[in-house]
Structure 1
Amino acid sequence: MIQVKQALLAALAEALQEIAPGSNAIAAFESPKQAAHGDFACTAAMQLAKPLKANPRELATRLISALQARPAFATWVQSLEIAGPGFINIRVKPEAKQAVVAEVLAAGIKFGHRPATGTHVMVEFVSANPTGPLHVGHARQAALGDAICSVFQSQGHDVTREFYYNDAGVQIATLANSTQLRLKGFKPGDAEWPEQAYNGEYIQDIADAFLRKETVKADDREFTASGDADDLDSIRQFAVAYLRHEQDLDLQAFGLKFDNYFLESSVYAGGQLEKAVERIVASGKAYEEGGALWFKSTDYGDDKDRVMRKQDGGFTYFVPDVAYHVNKFERGYTQCINIQGTDHHGTI
């Protein structure tokens, strides 16, 4: 009934212009709270009553007369009734409801789609660091994020699917060191095995592939292993590419492909972290205490304020996340949506 509704709305706009020229009244329908009241409800008469200094029920009577003179209402509407202070309840004919069948058959999989709006939307989801296999939580994010993207695309928005991940820092260093230890014959439980190392058998799989000097290719990177167990940088790059490839295989099983991969390391370039902190300080939402710089997140409902810069001068994970979101809007997106896991509940 989409085309029928559009025709009726166009007729309503004409009728409003006739009874209230220059009022800029918006033609809109509401859904009645009770199905017995009709298929659509119109409150325009009540909205126009005050500016026109007229009785809303009298305005509703005039509006009904104007609507009945329109071909769309004559073709598709069964009855128009005034209710309460000036509601107009609209009941359409059975053939109006049946018209949707022809619309569905004609449009096929494009039924319900709308023309381009010019709105640029980014949906960031999954965004799992390449330090281990994806889990069920990531699968949930993948399904939800992709569904949201499809809905926005069907409504005419230009949508970017983005995957953000850490390719440097403590977690990636732990991944590289764990793989190097496996390459040198150590395993979990050995005296030489650090407590913070990754214990999964997938680390041994990475080490074996590295020794074979394999080339691994992910959607956003490709790397060939040197095979040298002392080459920590090669181990790091190979391990990241290996696990990114494993992630891609899982995501492709969902039929999911990302438009862009954004690396956390890129927000460290060009002073983006410092600029993000400067903007927060300039806004008056930061303060110094105990040698650290804090963000007043309690002003926004958080249970405690968050540290941005630690006593040693290093930034917390909060800062690159802020810089990344600033970067999103600087790239021209008008709306940004995050699909995040439960591990982010404390900073949402």
Structure 2
Amino acid sequence: MTPAALADLVRNTAVDVLSARELDVSVLPETVTVERPRNPEHGDYATNVAMQVAKKAGVPPRDLATWLAEALTGQDGITEVTVAGPGFLNLRLATDAQAGIVRDVVSAGAEFGRGDRYQGLRVNLEFVSANPTGPIHLGGTRWAAVGDALGRALSAQGAEVVREYYFNDAGAQIDRFVLSLLAAAKGEPAPEDGYGGDYIADIARQVLEAEPGALEQPEAERHETFRRVGVGLMFDEIKRSLHEFGTDFDVFFHEDSLHSSGAVSESVEQLKASGHLYFADGAWWLRSTEFGDDKDRVVIKSDGATAYIAGDVAYLRDKRGRGFDLCLYMLGADHHGYVSRLKAAAAAFDDDPDAVEVLIGQMVNLVREGKPVRMSKRAGTVVTLEDLVEAVGVDAARYSLTRSSVDSAVDIDLDLISKRSNENPVFYVQYAHARLASLQRNAESLGIDRGPVEEADLSLLAHEREGDLIRTLGEYPRVVLSAAELREPHRIARYLEEVASAYHKFYDACRVLQPGDDQANPLTVARLQLCEATRQVLANGLGLLGVTAPDQM
């Protein structure tokens, strides 16, 4: 019995109890919370539902808890229910009911943990979107790992997720990039506000290889050549780096297309017509304070140029016009103002502000031997995605960047995540999977066939460590759901470390294969099924993080 199934049983029982006493059933939450208690001596699971609803129902919490305990005791799969404190319910499950989790995992295989919470929801997930003026830095690398993992978690809950990269190919930063390329091509130093690093010289050389006569062209044509070819080469390199990192996008949306298609002008005129833009101090302003923003925003500057928000507004309209129910933006720490301004833009178009959601990520720092790592061979003072991958590999980089909440800055210890030891979280989890895969191979070499999981006597899994591991596995669907709902894929990584810990404790306490014994007994088969369930959960969770699940290490 999974925690979700137990939660349903508790709620259904609560409905019966309240109805029998002619109490208001509507006070019950749609989903009852059932959790594993910190102290396993209290029971396998606990719920505070009686304390949560008793006051609304007009009865003392402990009385309601006592009625629920009486009604739950003896139900299929439940061996004991006790009332603790002011109204907590502690529940113990029968061994065979608890072991049903093993059956569920093995039977479902790669599908275990998937749900339908977001079935039918179309999500536009925009992340990374680094300017095409240089290699992806650590902040963008963090989003590449976290954004991809979040997309996988949302998809696992039934959402149709489109991963989108907003290609900033308009604006002053592109002009500075082009001038930097031109300077490098001429053998001159970079402009004062330009871009440095060996990559600029590399791209300038490639532009001249593609267009040998570019430097002899008239100034405007020369600038356009370096812009067209140089930006294209830089962006191709960005896409290649992301692909090798395991992050691919469905859509690359060009900012310039919003201007060339007239989408920006059309959006501005619509806002003027609706009265949501006003003219003051020579500029046009969005009345964003009317929709919860902390200040009104300039949309058309006094010199007639469009502000960034003009493109953002048109881009949001474009996304919604493509039929997305939810537009998720994953932005850097310097973009806090975007939360309110994008929601205000949606409201100004009479759209639902809740269709817009902005996640803000904090900084990433690399540390080696206790000191910050700042230098990149190719990009000057910027540490890039490729620098990190070269130092520790794709798996360690992705896992390390995903296992912490994006709300907080994170220090990545290069010495730690390079170690092949249990101190390294990604190695700890991957090694557990490899050890489990090896165990199954050893069983096969001994001629032991665990057979169909339906035929195994899983009621034999009665050891304390077996119970701990089984209950940990049972949490996986809820972890995936919460990772998707809260937009926090780090929950999956931390959970996998719990699984690996529970497995190692089980393995140390419970022998699976008898030495020299090529004859499987029922307990051996049951434990092999438990091991297979554990391996499957680790593989499923690592897959959601975009990290490999090796069979041997």
Normalized against structure 2, the TM-score is what? 0.51
CA distance 1:7–1:205, shift in 2 (3 Å): closer
* TM-superposed deviation, 1:244: 0.9
Residue equivalent to 1:172: 174
Point out the more displaced range, 338-347 or 253-262.
Answer: 338-347
* TM-superposed deviation, 1:69: 5.8
Amino acid at match of 2:166: Y
* Equivalent position to 1:67, from 46, 53, 72: 72
Cα deviations by residue, 1:150-193 (Å, 9 ceiling, x for unpaired): 2222233222211101223322233334434544x35117xxxx
CA distance 1:158–1:227, shift in 2 (3 Å): farther
Residue equivalent to 1:207: 204
Distance 2:307 2:4 in 1: 52
Distance 1:16 1:97 in 2: 21
CA distance 1:291–1:110, shift in 2 (3 Å): same
Distance 1:61 1:145 in 2: 46
Unaligned ranges ≥5, structure 2: 340-553
Q: Secondary structure at the match of 1:261?
A: strand
Point out the more displaced range, 267-276 or 143-152.
Answer: 267-276
Distance 1:33 1:6 in 2: 16
Distance 2:10 2:333 in 1: 47
Q: Secondary structure at the match of 2:246?
A: coil
Cα deviations by residue, 1:96-141 (Å, 9 ceiling, x for unpaired): 5554444444444443222462222222111012112222222122
* Equivalent position to 2:235, from 244, 252, 267: 244
Amino acid at match of 1:142: A
Distance 1:201 1:55 in 2: 72
Residues 15-26 of structure 1 aligned to structure 2 (within 5 Å) = 15-20=13-18, 23=25, 25=28, 26=30
Residue equivalent to 2:33: 29
Count how many residue pairs are aligned between Structure 1 and Structure 2: 324
Point out the more displaced range, 119-128 or 231-240.
Answer: 231-240
Residue equivalent to 1:123: 125
Residue equivalent to 2:115: 114
Residues 179-194 of structure 1 aligned to structure 2 (within 5 Å) = 179-183=181-185, 185-188=186-189, 194=191
Paired residues of 1:15 and 1:63 also in contact (CA < 8 A): yes
CA distance 1:155–1:40, shift in 2 (3 Å): farther
Residues 77-116 of structure 1 aligned to structure 2 (within 5 Å) = 77-83=78-84, 86-93=87-94, 96-115=97-116
* TM-superposed deviation, 1:207: 3.0
Amino acid at match of 1:125: F
Cα deviations by residue, 1:19-74 (Å, 9 ceiling, x for unpaired): 445945435124377546541215258636745x6665554444444434642xxx
Residue equivalent to 2:335: 344
Q: Secondary structure at the match of 1:212?
A: helix
Residues 1-348 of structure 1 aligned to structure 2 (within 5 Å) = 3-20=1-18, 23=25, 25=28, 26-31=30-35, 35=39, 37-38=42-43, 39-43=45-49, 47=53, 50=56, 57-68=62-73, 70-71=75-76, 75=77, 77-83=78-84, 86-93=87-94, 96-115=97-116, 117-183=119-185, 185-188=186-189, 194-213=191-210, 225=211, 227-229=213-215, 230=217, 231-232=221-222, 233-269=224-260, 271-277=262-268, 287-295=278-286, 300=292, 302=294, 305-345=296-336, 347-348=338-339
CA distance 1:342–1:85, shift in 2 (3 Å): closer
Normalized against structure 1, the TM-score is what? 0.76
* TM-superposed deviation, 1:8: 2.5
Point out the more displaced range, 336-345 or 310-319.
Answer: 336-345
Amino acid at match of 2:314: A
Distance 1:202 1:50 in 2: 65
Amino acid at match of 2:254: L
CA distance 1:263–1:226, shift in 2 (3 Å): farther
Distance 1:14 1:152 in 2: 28
Which gives a bigger RCO, structure 1 or 2 (Cα 8 Å, sep 6+)?
2
Q: Secondary structure at the match of 1:339?
A: strand
Amino acid at match of 1:255: G
Amino acid at match of 1:264: E
Normalized per residue, which structure has more helix?
Answer: 2
Amino acid at match of 1:47: V
Q: Secondary structure at the match of 1:329?
A: helix
Cα deviations by residue, 1:177-214 (Å, 9 ceiling, x for unpaired): 4434544x35117xxxx54444444333233223322x
Paired residues of 1:162 and 1:261 also in contact (CA < 8 A): yes
Amino acid at match of 2:126: E
Unaligned ranges ≥5, structure 1: 214-224
Distance 1:85 1:319 in 2: 56
CA distance 1:50–1:168, shift in 2 (3 Å): closer
Identical-pair percentage = 36
Distance 2:246 2:189 in 1: 36
Paired residues of 1:121 and 1:334 also in contact (CA < 8 A): yes
Residue equivalent to 2:474: none
Q: Secondary structure at the match of 2:298?
A: strand
Distance 2:8 2:174 in 1: 58
Amino acid at match of 1:120: R
Amino acid at match of 2:285: W
**What root-mean-square deviation, in Å, do the aligned CA atoms of Structure 1 and Structure 2 show?**
3.5
Q: Secondary structure at the match of 2:253?
A: strand
Amino acid at match of 2:252: Y
